Amino acid sequence: MNRYKSIATILLALIVSTMSIAVVGCTRKSIVPTQATSAIQTQVIKDITAKESFSLIQENSSNVNFVIVDVRTPSEFSEGHIKNAINIDFYAPTFREAIGKLDKAKMYLVYCRSGNRSTQTTAIMKDLGFREVYNIDDGIVGWNNNGYPTVK
């Protein structure tokens, strides 16, 4: 009989210990969200049309935290670009570093010629932790096809 009481006591102790560890582990996980989880929840990375881009630019015309980034080559940029855009050449060896130096808390509109380089750029910006990035899905070609203005 004493042998059964000893086994029962040991089993009860194991069950209580296991339950305590499980409860503490689950509680800690739910109370303390990871930084990665927080970053993912607050990011906005979105492809938009030229028409939506035009509206976004107009809505943010006086917003100092709104930046337009043209990722075409300098010669493409000089042929005509969206007003107030900055040029960061996608093909430059320092491209990722240059993008990484931008303020991650600002809102960005990114474009290239047809949407390929800017799509790759938004993926890089997402990986680098940028908060809000919009991509003109058909690039400056779509912009021009809609008759929106460019400057040289």
* pLDDT tens digits along 94-107: 999 999 999 999 99
pLDDT at residue number 49? 97
For residues 90 and 36, give the distance between their C-alpha atoms in angstroms, rounded to a whole number: 27
Mean pLDDT of 44-66: 97
Q: What is the dihedral of CA 84, 95, 103, 111, to 10 degrees?
A: 40
In this predicted structure, the answer to whether residue 41 has a pLDDT above a threshold of 80 is no
Is 26 labeled as catalytic in the residue annotation?
A: no
pLDDT digit string, tens, across residues 3-28:
656 665 665 555 655 555 444 444 33
Question: Would you place residue 42 in the very low, low, confident or very high pLDDT band (cuts 50, 70, 90)?
Answer: confident
Catalytic residue among 57, 88, 112, 136: 112
DSSP string, 70-99: E-S-HHHHHH-B-TT-EE--TTSTTHHHHH
As to burial, measured by CB atoms within 10 angstroms (0-12 exposed, 13-18 middle, 19+ buried), residue 70 is: buried
For residues 115 and 17, give the distance between their C-alpha atoms in angstroms, rounded to a whole number: 57
pLDDT digit string, tens, across residues 57-76:
999 999 999 999 999 999 99
